[in-house]
Amino acid sequence: MLYLYDGALDVPTILKNWYEAEATSNYGAYIPFVGTVRSENNISGLSFDIYEPILEKWFDSWQLKAKAKGAIIKMAHSRGDVMLHESSYIAAVFSPKRRVALMLIEEFVEDFKASAPIWKYDLKQNKRIYALERSTAISGSGILGVFS
Amino acid sequence: MVRVEFLGPIQKKPLELEIKNLNELAHILQKDKELSEWLQNSAVAVNDTLVNSLDVELKDGDKISLLPPVCGG
């Protein structure tokens, strides 16, 4: 279950909806992670581009991994601008027991940072500046730059 | 004809090229100096599946995407 929104996420509503959707699914653990835009480097906010076809494939592969452990993953992310102290990202794992959920949420969020096709920009003085130094090259990058 | 798309911060319009494999694409894109840094740090997808090698044959209608370094969240 992947949900994309224009602008900031309505965190209380999303967490409540997810909780209520699974309230009688017999999961013993619900572990959400919420990512919020912090004030740093004089930014007024962040902005995001998403390439949805590959994001959906990446997410589906994680949903299969979770299913093999009896768990499910939900994720919400913003497109476009998200201002200071607003939230752009929520990931959550529901699982029968806490250990699986604790492990999966860490593995999922780390791989999300390294692999999900989302690009981040700092909003600064009415400019949108690609955050290259905080970004990670996807595994296998650089093959078109090799001279043969 | 294959279509080449440059995603995220790569400010370049899509290309339509008559090429048979990714090696040919590498040779064409390496001539564009503005792309040199992006070629070093971007991943490549063919029809929305990431590939790890240039050893990929292309057919008419294929879509190639260049994905620069990512940072969601």
Retrieve residue A126's tokens. 């009415």
Interface of B with A in 8-67 (CB under 8 A): 8-9, 22-23, 25-27, 29-30, 36, 39-45, 48-54, 65-67
In 3D, which of A47, A48, A36, A120 has the Cα closest to residue A85?
A: A36
Q: Which domain holds residue A24?
A: 2-132
**B41, part of any domain:** yes
DSSP β-bridge partners for residue A33: A91
Considering its fold, how many domains does chain B have in total?
Answer: 1
Retrieve residue A52's tokens. 């949805």
Q: Name the strands in the sheet holding B15-17, side by side, starting at the edge strand that comes first in the sequence.
A: B15-17, B2-6, B63-67, B43-46, B49-51
Q: What is the pLDDT of residue A147?
A: 75
Q: How far is CA A81 from CA A41, A49, B3, in A?
A: 17, 9, 29
Q: Which domain holds residue B30?
A: 2-59
Distance from CA of B27 to the nearest CA of A (A): 8
Considering its fold, how many domains does chain A have in total?
Answer: 1
Interface predicted TM-score (ipTM) of this complex, two decimals: 0.95
**B18, part of any domain:** yes
Q: What's B38's domain CATH number?
A: 3.10.20.30
The residue of chain A with its CA nearest to that of B39 is A145
**A143, part of any domain:** no
Distance CA B18, CA B20 (A): 7
Phi, psi (deg, nearest 5) at residue A140: 90, 5
Q: What is the pLDDT along chain A (148 residues), one digit of tens a residue?
A: 999 999 999 999 999 999 999 999 999 999 999 999 999 999 999 999 999 999 999 999 999 999 999 999 999 999 999 999 999 999 999 999 999 999 999 999 999 999 999 999 999 999 999 999 999 999 999 999 987 6
